[in-house]
């Protein structure tokens, strides 16, 4: 019987996106069929860089060109950025399976499912990109999401809190706006794809919340307080609003967490408004 962790490692290290995504779907099919061993496996290696091709080119955040809706190129650049995030999310899911061991089967169920959905998201967005006359690799990208995955790699609690409940959760706030803009532009296919992605992301962020709280319970710490402690440790600032409260509650944010996020956002905006010019 094939081993889940070895298969996850193989997918993570695969260079070509097409082969990586084919392998991702193959593994998810094997897992769903119950044909992968997961109780045992070689100890995980410290794998800090997923398999990649020469394109897209990675640059600093400040060097990424402006994305938006005014021109086809700006819209393609936006979709390309989202496509890259989805491929990074595929790597994140398989890394979370390969890296973290001795967890309940439900943990691996969650991240295999996530890998499958993120794979489909890549295909959906790549089609939109192709329809605009571009392909994945045509625009430079930054690597901030993956860098944070490496930074939090040795702490499951931090990985779940920061990568999934802060960085990934941002999609819950911003994607609905993009849906409306593409609808206004008459691009129904892209809008429909973004709706699928937004709905699925609620489940992915919820998985992050579930396993973040699982670890908090194990360590007997208050999850609401720990969430903000970890943000202070790993981030330069807390997330800025407006927040999609309804989606975030569905994704596992507590009312107390939402109230504190909104309080911090209001505090920031008040300080900014009162700052001397």
Instruction: Indicate the burial class of 180 (C-beta count within 10 angstroms; 0-12, 13-18, 19 or more).
Output: exposed
User: Contact 94/36 with Cβ under 8 angstroms?
Assistant: no
Is the pTM of the predicted complex or chain greater than 0.85? yes
How confident is the chain (277 residues) per 10-residue block, as mean pLDDT?
96 97 98 95 93 95 86 96 97 98 97 98 98 97 96 97 97 95 96 97 98 98 98 94 96 97 94 83
Question: For residue 179, how many other CB atoms are within 10 A of its CB?
Answer: 18
Helix 188-219 to helix 223-234 angle, to the nearest 10 degrees?
110
Helix 170-184 to helix 188-219 angle, to the nearest 10 degrees?
170
pLDDT at 272: 86
3-class secondary structure per residue, 31-62: HHCCCEECCCCCCCCCCCCCCCCCCCCECCHH
Q: DSSP letter at 63?
A: G
Determine the length of the chain: 277
pLDDT at 66: 78
Q: Which residues contact 245 (CB under 8 A, 6 or more apart)?
A: 258, 262
Q: Which residues contact 82 (CB under 8 A, 6 or more apart)?
A: 125, 197
Instruction: Indicate the burial class of 263 (C-beta count within 10 angstroms; 0-12, 13-18, 19 or more).
Output: exposed
DSSP string computed for 229-256: HHHHHH-SSPPPS---HHHHHHTT--HH
3: helix, strand or coil: strand
Distances (CA, A) of 170 to 14, 34, 81: 27, 34, 14
- In angstroms, the CA 263 to CA 244 distance is 15
Tokens encoding 229: 């402690």
- In angstroms, the CA 200 to CA 181 distance is 20
pLDDT at 149: 97
Longest CA–CA separation in the chain, Å: 66
pLDDT at 226: 98
pLDDT at 276: 82
Helix locations, the chain, DSSP H: 4-13, 17-32, 72-99, 105-131, 144-151, 156-158, 170-184, 188-219, 223-234, 245-250, 255-274
Domain borders along the chain are: 1-98+108-139, 152-277
């Amino acid at each position: 019987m094939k081993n889940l962790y070895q298969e996850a490692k193989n997918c993570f290290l695969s260079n070509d996106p097409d082969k990586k995504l084919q392998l991702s779907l193959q593994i998810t099919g094997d897992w769903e069929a119950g044909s992968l061993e997961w109780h045992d496996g070689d100890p995980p290696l410290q794998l800090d860089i997923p398999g990649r091709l020469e394109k897209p080119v990675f640059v600093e955040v400040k060097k990424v060109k402006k994305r938006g809706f005014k021109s086809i190129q700006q819209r393609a650049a936006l979709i390309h950025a989202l496509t890259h995030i989805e491929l990074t999310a595929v790597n994140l899911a398989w890394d979370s399976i390969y890296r973290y061991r001795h967890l309940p089967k439900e943990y691996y169920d969650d991240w295999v499912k996530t890998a499958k959905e993120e794979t489909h998201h890549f295909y959906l967005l790549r089609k939109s990109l192709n329809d605009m006359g571009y392909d994945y690799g045509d625009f430079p990208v930054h690597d901030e999401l993956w860098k944070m995955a490496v930074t939090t790699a040795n702490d499951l609690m931090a990985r779940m809190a920061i990568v999934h409940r802060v960085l990934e959760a941002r999609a819950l706030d911003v994607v609905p706006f993009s849906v409306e803009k593409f609808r206004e532009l008459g691009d129904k296919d892209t809008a429909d794809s973004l709706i699928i992605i937004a709905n699925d992301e609620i489940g992915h962020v919820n998985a992050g919340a579930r396993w973040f709280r699982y670890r908090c319970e194990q360590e007997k710490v208050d999850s609401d307080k720990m969430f903000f402690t970890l943000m202070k440790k790993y981030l330069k600032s807390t997330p800025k609003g407006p927040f999609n409260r309804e989606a975030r509650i569905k994704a596992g944010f507590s009312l107390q967490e939402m109230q504190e996020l909104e309080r911090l956002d209001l505090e920031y905006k008040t300080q900014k408004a009162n700052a001397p010019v």
